[in-house]
Amino acid sequence: MIKQQKNNRRLLVLDDENDVAATICMMAEIAGYQTEHTDSIEVFIEQLFVWSPTHVAVDLQLAKLDGIDVIHRLVELDCKAAVIIISGLGGRILDSASRAAAENGLTLLGTLSKPFSRDSLLDLLTIDTSSRILPHQESSFLHSGLSISGDELANALRKKAFIAHFQPKISCLNSELMGFECLARWPHQSGVMITPVDFIEIAERSGLIHQLTRQIYEYALANLTDFAQTDTKLKFALNLSPVNLNDETFPNWLLDKCREYNVSPSQIILEVTETASMDSPLKLLEHLTQFRIRGFHLSIDDFGVGYSSLVQLARLPFSELKIDQMFTKTLTTSDESRKIVAAVVSLGKSMGLNVVAEGVENEWALNFLCDIGCDEAQGYFIARPMDKITALNWKGGKKE
């Protein structure tokens, strides 16, 4: 039965333990939710359409199917509700199920381990999932889904169509703005803003990445003087494709461009993501060292996933470690992520590196990172990538 209240937050619970479901509903109503519960997946799915809940809570163990099946159904149905996963199973199982939900693209609010307290449920239900998004910040991942050809890319390069958007990095110590990551963007003639996922790979495969990198870097460098007028201590991070490292002329090209735009190499952080396509380990060592000799900072991007390994960290001349967002995004829901992030922060600090966490999507994660001594944070909770003018006026990091 649906209990009507003024509030427009609606929680739908799927659990075959009726008393548990009823208790959840009762607590949620205290928090101002309308609630409904069922033990049938068919009724649950019907209600998803008919009632459009803003929140769903799903038990991992049901008589006919398990929580992973339910997660798949939610994905198939393009469920936009915030998801809470409930279970009497151990923490690790709950952890991996919640990771599966998040990696399937669901908005995971958190997990509840049975028996749970009233406060832990209320904590979840009162989470504000909205970021502090300003009008000119990007409202979402602007992946257009366009299929880009090499010719189209070459054409756009000729027209100098590629630009950068700027995402702030703030100090965990005092929320001060430390700098920006410059992220490639392609304002397409169709009106959509195309993000790198649609063109970096094809640029790498077609060899156009060298031209593309130079175009994005030049746009960023040419605009840095405007930022420097407001704050000369700011640093700017630029992404480097591993393919760029094979271009021996690039370190000097970059140094010349820095001189041309009056930017000190010490203001630039090059973020490098490792891939399997890397040249020989010796060449990589040499190329990276060449950037350091010229005064640029180097950051090991996406640390903890893919090919970025402890060997690389020990061997290569990085000055910064960037914890992959996969860990940061799951801080609120995964005990393992919290342990890994705490260990990586401590490792990075002990090696004298500046440690940055990206993918900070809520206040809880930001506070956690600050508590464990992470140096800097970046993510949608702080700000989304922004065009230059919006970024120049961005004051969100500074405490009043």
- Determine the Cα–Cα distance for residues 308 and 325; give it in Å rounded to an integer: 14
Smallest gap from Cβ 378 to Ca ion, in A, equals 9
Binding to ligand C2E, residues 300-339 (CB under 6 A): 301-302, 325
Binding to Ca ion, residues 223-242 (CB under 5 A): 239
Peptide bond into 135 cis (omega under 30): no
- Determine the Cα–Cα distance for residues 336 and 331; give it in Å rounded to an integer: 8
Kindly state whether residue 359 participates in binding ligand C2E, applying the rule CB under 6 A. Answer: yes
Contact letters for ligand C2E, residues 216-235 (x by CB under 6 A): x-------------------
Q: Binding segment for ligand C2E among 105-113, 115-123, 256-264, 357-365 (CB under 6 A)?
A: 357-365
Q: Binding segment for ligand C2E among 84-92, 103-111, 253-261, 355-363 (CB under 6 A)?
A: 355-363
Smallest gap from Cβ 193 to ligand C2E, in A, equals 10
Angle at the Cα of 173 from the Cα atoms of 397 and 343, rounded to 5 degrees: 120
Pull the structure tokens for residue 315.
Answer: 């061997």
Q: Which of 273, 308, 334, 354 binds ligand C2E (CB under 6 A)?
A: 273
Inter-axis angle of helices 209-230 and 150-158, nearest 10: 40
Pull the structure tokens for residue 378.
Answer: 């970046």
Taking residue 363's Cβ as centre, other Cβ atoms within 10 Å add up to 14
Number of residues that bind ligand C2E (CB under 6 A): 24
Pull the structure tokens for residue 43.
Answer: 């009724």
C-beta closer to Ca ion: residue 213 or 239: 239
Contact indicator for 47, 21 with CB cutoff of 8 Å: no
Kindly state whether residue 241 participates in binding ligand C2E, applying the rule CB under 6 A. Answer: yes
Contact partners, residue 352, CB within 8 Å, separation at least 6: none
Which listed option, ligand C2E, Ca ion, none, makes contact with residue 390 (CB within 5 to 8 Å by class)? none
Smallest gap from Cβ 292 to Ca ion, in A, equals 18
Smallest gap from Cβ 302 to ligand C2E, in A, equals 6
Smallest gap from Cβ 132 to ligand C2E, in A, equals 12
- Per-residue CA distances from 202 to 143, 165, 196, 197, 271 (Å): 15, 20, 10, 9, 20
- Determine the Cα–Cα distance for residues 322 and 316; give it in Å rounded to an integer: 14
Kindly state whether residue 208 participates in binding ligand C2E, applying the rule CB under 6 A. Answer: no
The residues facing 55 across adjacent strands are 11, 82
Q: Which residues bind ligand C2E (CB under 6 A)?
A: 167, 183-184, 195-197, 200, 213, 216, 239, 241, 271, 273, 301-302, 325, 358-361, 378-380, 385
Q: Which residues bind Ca ion (CB under 5 A)?
A: 239, 271, 301-302
